A and B are shown apart, each in its own frame.
Chain A
Amino acid sequence: MAMTRAARPLPALFADVLLCLALCLGMLGTAHAAIPKELILQLATGDSDEKIAAMGQIASSGDPAALPLLQAMADGRLQVLEEKQQVLLYNDAGEVTDAVTGAKLDPVPEGAEDITVNNRLRSALDGAMAALQLTAADTAVRLDAARNIKSSATPEMLPLIEKALQSEKDAAIRRLLLTTQASLQLSSDNVSTRLAAVKALAASGDSETKQLLLALLEKEGDTFKEPEAAVRAEAQKSIDDIDARLQMGEYAGMAFTGISLGSILLLAALGLAITYGLMGVINMAHGELIMIGAYATYLTQNLVRAYAPGLFEIYPLLAVPVSFMVAALVGVAMERLVIRHLYGRPLETLLATWGISLMLIQLVRSLFGAQNVPLENPAWLSGGVQVMSNLILPYNRIAIIVFAGLVVAGMALILTRTRLGLFVRAVTQNRNMASCVGVATPRVDTVAFGLGSGIAGLAGCALSQVGNVGPDLGQSYIIDSFMVVVLGGVGQLIGTVYAALGLGIINKLFEAQAGAVLAKIAVLVIIIVFIQKRPQGLFAVRGRFVEQ
């Protein structure tokens, strides 16, 4: 690439658009003739540079047809018929009009080709449309336009922005426009204007602004891009200010990803905290119970889609009880048929449950195929909320953190506040004594195992929203689950919570430093060392029970 370094601090591609825009600014308000045919053809058939130039001219014409035309191009609703020199515009209803004359075309001429829009054209289009929308009546539209123009502004746009600023009342939009104005003034000839702009930008907290300021400090040969030392010093100060703010966002982001991973580990391990932690069953099929929960969610999704499409948005909520019930039933069947005969024989339990896990995997493979099944996130679980300029928290992860909290709370309530919970604790602490005072221990075992399995199913339901759902899903969580329960201390719910969140955060800290592969190894090493030093885990059960 023999390109010269971009002399301007801003994306050079917008220069073209706005050069034309500036040229035509004088015409704004006067020229209300239709968009000239040559321009539309240039937009449709030119090379990228010509297209961008045409966009600028069309945008600055201020013609009411400009916005729909550019929008159609951005949405891929423009087609061109080269030999007839005709541009076709599809509207939302699928009707076709001639983009030049506006006449309806029926029948639609054949042989028209789509107009390709690549990333460069797309961002030029965004800029051109934003310029047209800066004076729109709707505040939301203006806000969007101000956001778009901020990332795609060029010096030629300055008069336009100043004009918009004069009439703009909304504080948020003003702030965006002022930042854009300041960033454009960076290339002003006047030193004091530049200095003021650099100072103003210190208040901004986003990475794009930082990139602009960084560009000032770059050297071109022996000279800096910014000739004035005072401005450079100020720019460095502003960068430090922005960095401090970005740093906050990074730390917050890291904490969030750690908690998010922790919540996933927690969900995966909670069921095991009951079946292994409380009941002492080394349940190697725990991962498969998670997998069954995920497949139950998949089935719910399909059923909802087939029979009640209106409820599709809330299918994950409907899937919660379904996945719990299905996994709990499988768990109860396992306990009744196999595990109950093996109490007190941990080795045999381990082998038997491992066998069951293989059978469950194969069963699911035969029923649903070996491939992953597709699960769609409903709209409210897609996307994220922008908390800081460099921090977006995805909704699906927030939902899982909340869900994990609810499950822990629910489980704590059941175990400490209900008669069933009392029985479960009694039986796991001293089976003989519980039996003596009239607790039906076999039934309690079954219910407790079913509860643990059901919670594993809930984990599957939640995991299906962030990861892949396939027959091997459980295999990737079983080791993590055991790790969490053992680290937290067998028999202690609160230990599981701490261990899951701790592992999540430690894992993410390492990942940020050393990458995902080394992080995984490091976490395993830490756990091994920890268990060597403290075999009872973070929280040990006190009392006679331990010495048995």
Chain B
Amino acid sequence: MQRRNFIKASAMTAAMALAGFSASFAQAQETIKVGVLHSLSGTMAISETVLKDTVLMAIDEINAKGGVLGKKLEPVVVDPASNWPLFAEKARQLISKDKVAVTFGCWTSVSRKSVLPVYEELNSLLFYPVQYEGEELSKNVFYTGAAPNQQAIPAVEYLMSKDGGSAKRFVLLGTDYVYPRTTNKILRAFLHSKGVKDEDIIEEYTPFGHSDYQSIIAKIKKFSSEGKKTAVVSTINGDSNVPFYKELGNQGLKATDVPVVAFSVGEEELRGVDTKPLVGHLAAWNYFMSIKSPANTEFVKKWSDYAKAKNIPGHKDKPLTNDPMEATYIGIHMWAQAANKAKSVDTDKVIAAMAGQTFKAPGGFISTMDKENHHLHKPVFIGEIKADGQFNVVWKTKGPVVADPWSDYIAENKGKKNVPEKK
């Protein structure tokens, strides 16, 4: 009896597995798989989770219009858990096992550096949606966030301008990894070129997930008392920003005294922080939710509806959009356009078709993919935090700025062309 039951059961299991396999095989014929590689847990989840949802929303949107090359897109979502080596493992799994045509993912530069060799080795495509430090240009990556000259440098220029407070001394504060270190190296060189001396610059780093900013704030206060107008440039990433801004507010460091300009803090990171004491502190991005344009109104509405429909925690009650979401959204739409143009999702054909792609960005301008350097032309906005957690745009460039990934302020970059080396 028992044995018979066992045989029966295993036969059934086998049949079911076979059916399942053939079903999934049939499905693979009809869809194009798209990888989503964002941390859904750990210290970066605060920033990255919402990007996963943005990709899913854009995929729904593209599918509703008939998909790409007549096929529906099928998202494959993995969670690399803010664990950098795991990013590389998951990337390899997405490309080799799930056979995704393209991946949208990563936030921190250390995660991008971790997956880069995988994408180059397997010749697959990664769309990276976050502002970063430059100093990299791979033919397998499209950078839809800002290069230093599209964010960091204009922000510091603004701080030094009359309207920005004519800052003369700078605290460069960041999380301890490649993006803040490299950005601060570029900024230091930039400040030197503007006549700021080394004794007027201090650099401070904290580990990922750091939560006790008392001594750092005390240090900023001391530094600012030792001379002329001081400003803080923050490249703190992830959930450390919440305790940082809480401490900043509690310790009464006002924006009119010592303004803090942040490069990785947007609407999403400030959710749950009491922003009333933070009014006037700044952030530099290429998009803010508060930008007034028909395209943005539509984007915000789309997101609000999607968040409500999908019951996304937090966003269903208080929908927020931010710069990396916009960059993600632009990236996936541009990829779909390029694939349609190339009539293929083959990596090399899509790369060729990406050059010069345009898309009407939610920020209210036409976003263009550079013909050569794999970066978008983007305008730069500087916003001040308002009491309601939104940003008030106080400065912007006249039009889109062309990216300069190999910053001229780093001596070794002299003569480097902004074109990926073909491999």
Contacts and interface: CB of A to CB of B under 8 A. Distances in A.
Interface in B21-53: 40-43, 45-46, 49
Nearest to B395: A118
Interface stretch (A60-68, A226-234, A343-351, A377-385): A377-385
B271 interface: yes
Contact of A122 (B194, B215, B280): B280
Contacts of B313: 369, 371
Prevailing SS type, chain B contact patch:
loop
Contacts, number: 163
Contacts of B394: 116, 118
Contact of A119 (B40, B165, B251): B165
Nearest to A365: B41
Given A383-B277, A512-B219, A48 B162 contact: yes
A122 B210 contact: no
Size band of the interface chain B makes with A: 35 or more
Contacts of B225: 207-208, 210-211, 246, 390
A214 B163 contact: no
A116 B206 CA distance: 34
A516 interface: yes
Nearest to A374: B272
A510 B251 CA distance: 21
A119 B205 contact: no
A13 B256 CA distance: 12
Nearest to A13: B162
Interface stretch (B241-249, B340-348, B349-357): B241-249
B228 interface: yes
A58 interface: no
A520 interface: yes
B211 A468 contact: yes
A122 B259 CA distance: 12
Given A120-B163, A372-B239, A383 B204 contact: no
A79 interface: no
A372 B256 CA distance: 31
B251 A392 contact: yes
Given A254-B218, A395-B250, A118 B163 contact: yes
A257 interface: yes
A377 B246 contact: yes
B206 A377 contact: no
B246 A370 contact: no
A257 B215 contact: yes
Interface residues of A, number: 65
Contacts of A511: 215
A466 interface: yes
A371 B41 CA distance: 6
A155 B322 CA distance: 44
Interface string B384-412: 10100000111000000000000000000
A466 B243 contact: yes
B161 interface: yes
Which of A76, A365, A384, A466: most chain B Cβ within 10 A?
Answer: A466
A370 B49 CA distance: 9
A197 interface: no
A126 interface: yes
Contacts of B215: 254, 257, 508, 511-512, 516
B154 interface: no
Given A369-B313, A382-B249, A386-B252, 15 more contacts: A1-B161, A48-B162, A118-B163, A119-B165, A123-B256, A211-B225, A256-B214, A260-B214, A394-B247, A394-B250, A397-B250, A468-B243, A476-B211, A517-B206, A517-B207
10 contacts: A118-B384, A207-B221, A246-B222, A370-B41, A372-B239, A372-B242, A376-B272, A468-B242, A512-B218, A517-B206
Closest 8 CB pairs of A and B: A207-B225, A374-B272, A370-B41, A394-B250, A257-B214, A467-B211, A123-B256, A118-B394
